[in-house]
Amino acid sequence: MSDPTHPTLDTLICATAGSVDDGKSTLIGRILLDARALMRDQLAHIEEVSARRGFSRTELALVTDGLRAEREQGITIDAAWRYFATPRRRFVLADTPGHVQYTRNMVTGASQADAAIVLIDAERGLTEQTRRHLAITALLRVPVVFVVVNKMDRVAFDEVRFEALAADARRHVEALPWETRLRFIPVCALDGDNVVERSTRMPWYDGPAVLESLETVRVAPSRLGAGVLPVAWVIRPQREDFATFRGLAGRLVGGGLAVGDRVLVAPGMLESTVTRIDRHVTGALGGQASAESGESIVVSLADDVDAGRGAYVVQGAALPEGLELRQSVTLDVAWLTTRPARAGMRLWLKHQSRRVQAKLVGVTHRLDVSTGATTATDELKLNDLGRLQVVLGEPILATAYAQDRALGSALLVDPADGETVAATMLVTDAG
């Protein structure tokens, strides 16, 4: 039971993106430094490396540039995850790459994000890659995007320049086929203006700083309205005091679940009732009355139903609207491998804990992420975004990605070598 004097903090996952040299890594480094989230030895190491390389000040980008190639080239290659907390919230920050060839890495970071930060260089303005990243955050339905106009010191903290760039970003996003919320913040990451503390050098801006914005933004709830437990494992402890225990373990998505709830177990659509919910199966802890979305739990049912790894336990006596068993699907995808996507490919589709055979029956179009326009094509190449038609060997219990990001997403995997070839978002039932 939680201590009311030390309330449990919620966690916000935030991805950062933008063109090369827009200052993503520096911004994250400044947030961590000013929020006192860096250990003394970390800061000492960064200061030592900065001095050795001849920088006139501490190079904050080194905080997130963890790969040797990143530090040598001064660029971000892989998504770097940084964890810290303030008195108001816990954070997971993902510094994602800016180069076009690492678009797949940016997709990886943004696909899990509750919010995103897209940087714009106040001098250069929107680049093709900035537009690409705005489009990807919209495609991935990131609930809110903070457009951070960085390097305001290089344009003399000019409000007119800031408003012009904000208008350019709005026009680009409004032309895309997906809705997203944009919030604009002018900053100078190098000096810390409007990063953790509000700046006195931009009195015309009366909004919150970046960290305050992240602390107060609301995480969008699932539109599904029902708890779904994708079963990852069946728990049968080999202990005398748990001789009759059988629990279904997984991570709850969509909504909550409580003891006494009627449930359906798919794909067999068997009915039962929740009799117990545990976070741990130990005699000392016992069960809990309910669980919320995002919790990893073990659920016990009143009936000995056939439910192994890959099954779904769904709250309610009927499937909620929009959630259904699907065996023929339309997918928006980010293609992640050098092997082109073409009709006839045989793959695995991994949906939560369920894995089924999949056949790619058609490539519909490729998306121009700079404009939102689509072009008819019969193949997708590395880093392309487009749409596929796929037929499955067995049904999955899924919904449109726009309704629930967890149950509306899946991976396509090459069965020959286990390589993930595409991150996918379910659009509609294709049949």
Tell me the DSSP string of 272-340: EEEEEEESS--TTT--BSEE-TT-EEEEEESS-----TT-EEEESSSPPTT-EEEEEEEEEEEE-SSSP
| Intra-chain end-to-end CA distance of the chain, in Å | 47
252-309: pLDDT as tens digits: 999 999 999 999 999 999 999 999 998 865 544 457 899 998 899 999 999 989 899 9
Helix 159-174 with 128-139: angle, nearest 10 deg? 50
166-212: pLDDT as tens digits: 999 999 999 888 888 999 999 999 899 999 999 999 999 999 999 99
What distances in angstroms separate CA 302 from CA 93, 275, 318, one per listed residue? Answer: 41, 6, 18
If you ran DSSP here, which 8-state letter would residue 79 be given?
A: -
Q: Rounded to an integer, what distance in angstroms lies between the CA atom of residue 348 and that of residue 413?
A: 5
pLDDT at 244 over 60: yes
pTM, to two decimals: 0.81
The pLDDT score that the predictor gives to residue 118 is 95
Domains of the chain from N-terminus onward: 11-216 (3.40.50.300), 228-315 (2.40.30.10), 324-429 (2.40.30.10)
Write down how long the chain is. 431
Cis peptide before 267 (omega within 30 of 0): yes
The pLDDT score that the predictor gives to residue 4 is 39
- The overall average pLDDT reported for the chain is 85
314-343: pLDDT as tens digits: 999 999 999 999 999 999 998 989 999 999
Classify 416 as helix, strand or coil.
coil
pLDDT grade for 95, boundaries at 50, 70 and 90: confident
